[in-house]
Structure 1
């Protein structure tokens, strides 16, 4: 028995050490915070909110117009900058630490809903940052190490961290732990909270919000919920939809008005040759095939299938 425990413990320790090294590397990136990509735009957004939380104007041009870069998370960082007097880059570093913490803890929580193996969370974190093929790929909302090194202070990392927590929380709720509980806090309150969390993710980074929505749908389908859970789930969806539509009317208007073609052209590279031309997609096909063979209701298989449907429809 002790030999078996030792055999199980060794890969767990190796995986955990590897995950810790990745986290240390990302913390070093936060300290360095290289000026690249869209960092200047996010810094300008925080700077405008520092000066005026109600009517900050457009952070990119001298015009009193709405901007898609304003979000609940940027508002929080603007308040931090306003109260503390820290420079915008110090505030962005604080935001990066929070986003990175949410991402790591979210992965740990979500993976625990899928596997009890002690090495599973650390191995999953390593897979998330390394299994992206042999070509360097950098894009906001993607979790490859190269992307994270550039976007760790962006709202997309914060939103994806919340997405993992959303899936973990939702998985526990649909399996009956919260839906069957007595009282507001353990019953309806959970679903209202899930709806609010979903809305916050959508407001902070819409493209990550699409990923979060697909993952949530896969979690619900995999759980094969029935009865009163559907009613509670409907309440959560209504709360989230109302929050996103109500609070996001001004921030998303400039993103959606007259720019659909431009955004389509910019993001086409993300799903070009999606059938198997990128490392992450080939890994997805292999993982989904193995998962489907083991369990036809595997949430990761359903998640990947939904992604294929959406990307295939867009492409």
Structure 2
């Protein structure tokens, strides 16, 4: 029996060490913070919010127009920059560390709703990062190592981390059914809206994952009512977000 336990434990340790090494590598990337892609746009967004939280103007052009770059996460980072006086790139590094922690903990939480195997979270993280075939994807919202290394300070990583926590929370709620109070469903609706506001592409992925979670759980009518209330709350948050019109993005290319 002890030999069997040791054999089962060794793959778990290897997977966990591999996952830790990946996280350490991404933390080193945060220190380097490569100037690539949309980093300048996100830096400009934080800088605009640092100077004016109420009417920051468009971060890409000299115009007083709304912008979808003004997400809840960027607003938080703008407040951090405004209160602390830290440079924009230091604030982006702080945000990257927070988003990376949210992403890793979110994967762990969600995988735990699917498997109790000790190696499952670490193996899932490694699969998410490495199993992308031979073509490089370097774009916000993709979880390949190359993409994460370039976008770790972007709102998309924060949104993906929230998405995994959202799925884990939703999975627990639908399993408990009507035993969960209304506050849980309202909170899920708000969280869903925040993900959509932070990064629309990741929000679509989070929505599809939520739909799959609900369908797989085969919930009853009482739960569907609660889900409907949560969805209405989420739509309300999207509707009242003051920095840009979320629904105006629906018809855009």
TM-score norm. by structure 2 comes to 0.90
Cα distance between partner residues in 2 of 1:119 and 1:183: 29
**How far has the Cα of 1:41 moved from its partner?**
0.2
**How far has the Cα of 1:314 moved from its partner?**
13
Per-residue deviation, residues 84-118 of structure 1 (Å, max 9, x unmatched): 00000000001101110110000000000111110
* 1:16/1:119 contact within 8 Å kept: yes
Q: Which residue of 212, 228, 239 maps to 1:218?
A: 212
Cα distance between partner residues in 1 of 2:136 and 2:252: 24
Secondary structure, aligned partner of 2:12: helix
Per-residue deviation, residues 108-164 of structure 1 (Å, max 9, x unmatched): 000001111100000000000000111222010000000000000000000000000
Quickly say closer, same or farther: Cα 1:184–1:79, change in 2 above 3 A: farther
Per-residue deviation, residues 182-207 of structure 1 (Å, max 9, x unmatched): 99994111000000000000000011
Quickly say closer, same or farther: Cα 1:103–1:50, change in 2 above 3 A: same
Cα distance between partner residues in 1 of 2:132 and 2:41: 27
* 1:215/1:303 contact within 8 Å kept: no
Other-structure match for 1:194: 188
Quickly say closer, same or farther: Cα 1:101–1:150, change in 2 above 3 A: same
Quickly say closer, same or farther: Cα 1:31–1:79, change in 2 above 3 A: same
Quickly say closer, same or farther: Cα 1:92–1:303, change in 2 above 3 A: closer
Quickly say closer, same or farther: Cα 1:156–1:301, change in 2 above 3 A: closer
List structure 1 segments (4+ residues) > 2 angstroms apart after TM superposition.
Answer: 182-186, 299-306
**How far has the Cα of 1:227 moved from its partner?**
3.2
Q: Which has the higher contact order (CA 8 A, sep 6+)?
A: 2
* 1:218/1:303 contact within 8 Å kept: no
* 1:46/1:74 contact within 8 Å kept: yes
Cα distance between partner residues in 1 of 2:40 and 2:246: 34
Cα distance between partner residues in 1 of 2:155 and 2:30: 14
Quickly say closer, same or farther: Cα 1:197–1:99, change in 2 above 3 A: same
- When structure 1 is superposed on structure 2, of 59-68 and 103-112 the one drifting more is 59-68
- When structure 1 is superposed on structure 2, of 161-170 and 128-137 the one drifting more is 128-137
**How far has the Cα of 1:214 moved from its partner?**
0.2
TM-score norm. by structure 1 comes to 0.73
| 1:96 equivalent in alignment to 2:90 | no
* 2:70/2:243 contact within 8 Å kept: no
Per-residue deviation, residues 19-44 of structure 1 (Å, max 9, x unmatched): 00000000000011011110000000
Structure 2 gaps of 5+ residues are: 234-240
What CA RMSD, in Å, does the superposition of the two structures yield over aligned residues? 6.0
Structure 1 gaps of 5+ residues are: 176-181, 240-296, 307-312
Quickly say closer, same or farther: Cα 1:301–1:21, change in 2 above 3 A: farther
Secondary structure, aligned partner of 2:159: helix
